[in-house]
């Protein structure tokens, strides 16, 4: 699985969009970009994933660059409950283990 | 929406005792996993399970650990003789295809 690089921490004002970047310059053609988050010590929560195209669901949007070397997770209207560690994972999804890095600690500020 | 559930939410045990952590995966899922997270550290993979056998296990998953799917709904992790360093959050996950869905975890404290 390709290595991903994320900022250690970010702040976002409540109600504003949170844009979380991720670099995955060595990603291979069959690896998806997955995002999970972990609120305090709860179980990791699946957010969204994509291969090439941008994706949107009820939680977030995922923007993947055309060369697939980086992506951005967008939480359109961040709330205090979005304060969490966000993990970007490049993953073949062949039912393999998920390898979690340190992620980005997002703090949503009132 | 279907969820992975885990019991108990908290478990305190004495060193050397056996513990069994229980998970009920999402009902139509076929792949099952255990992960753990020591306080302040990353989530680490322990073992994956498919078709009633272990698919992959990490170095952490030594002979003290075992997994079982005793019936059609439960998936268990047993630690035979707990050590202090086994204190951690243990997360169960399941998947039908690629995306793994995680349970809320069991906090294990070994004294």
A2 has pLDDT over 90? no
CB-CB neighbors (< 8 A) of B104 in chain A: 42-43
B24 band by pLDDT with thresholds 50, 70 and 90: very high
The Cα A31–Cα B79 span in angstroms is: 34
DSSP H or E run through B56: strand B53-57
Whether the predicted pLDDT of A23 surpasses 90: yes
What lies within 8 Å, CB to CB, of B50 at 6+ separation is: A95, B30, B31, B32
For residue B13, pLDDT over 70 is answered with yes
CB contact under 8 A, A32 and B100: no
- Residue A84, pLDDT > 80, answer yes
CB pairs under 8 A between A and B: 58
Give the confidence band of B72 by pLDDT, cuts at 50, 70, 90: confident
Pairwise CB contact (< 8 Å): B42 & A49:
no
Nearest CA in chain A to B5: A43
**Chain B CB within 8 Å of residue A13 CB:** no
Residue B19: predicted pLDDT:
98
Q: How far apart are CA A43 and CA B92, in angstroms?
A: 9
Residue range B44-70: mean pLDDT, rounded: 94
pLDDT at position B78: 98
| Token pair in block for residue A60 | 């977030």
Quote the pLDDT of residue A41.
83
pLDDT, residue A1, reads 67
Percent of chain A whose pLDDT exceeds 90: 84
Q: How confident is the model at residue A94 (pLDDT cuts 50, 70, 90)?
A: low
Taking contacts as CB-CB distances below 8 angstroms, the residues of chain B near A41 are 37, 89, 105, 107
Q: Which member of A44, A95, A99 has the closest CB to residue B102?
A: A44
| CA atoms of A107 and A39, how far apart (whole Å) | 11
Candidates A94, A97, A102; nearest CB to B33: A97
Other beta carbons within 10 Å of A58 = 5
């Amino acid at each position: 699985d390709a290595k991903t690089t994320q900022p250690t921490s970010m702040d976002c004002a409540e109600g504003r969009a949170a844009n979380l970047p991720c670099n995955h310059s060595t990603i291979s053609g069959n690896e998806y970009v997955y995002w999970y988050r972990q609120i305090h010590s709860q179980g990791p929560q699946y957010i969204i994933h994509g291969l090439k195209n941008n994706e949107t669901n009820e939680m977030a949007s995922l923007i993947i660059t055309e060369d697939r070397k980086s992506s951005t997770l967008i939480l359109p209207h961040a709330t205090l409950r979005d304060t969490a560690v966000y993990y970007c994972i490049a993953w073949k999804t062949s039912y393999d283990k998920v390898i979690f890095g340190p992620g980005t600690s997002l703090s949503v500020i009132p | 929406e279907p969820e992975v559930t885990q019991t108990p939410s908290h478990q305190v045990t004495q060193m050397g005792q056996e513990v069994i952590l229980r998970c009920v995966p999402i009902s139509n899922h076929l792949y099952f996993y255990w992960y753990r997270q020591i306080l302040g550290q990353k989530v680490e993979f322990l073992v994956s399970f498919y078709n009633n056998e272990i698919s992959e296990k990490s170095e952490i998953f030594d002979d003290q650990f075992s997994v079982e799917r005793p019936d059609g709904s439960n998936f268990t992790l047993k630690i035979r003789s707990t050590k202090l360093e086994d204190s951690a959050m243990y997360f169960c996950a399941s998947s039908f295809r690629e995306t793994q869905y995680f349970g809320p975890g069991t906090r294990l404290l070994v004294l």
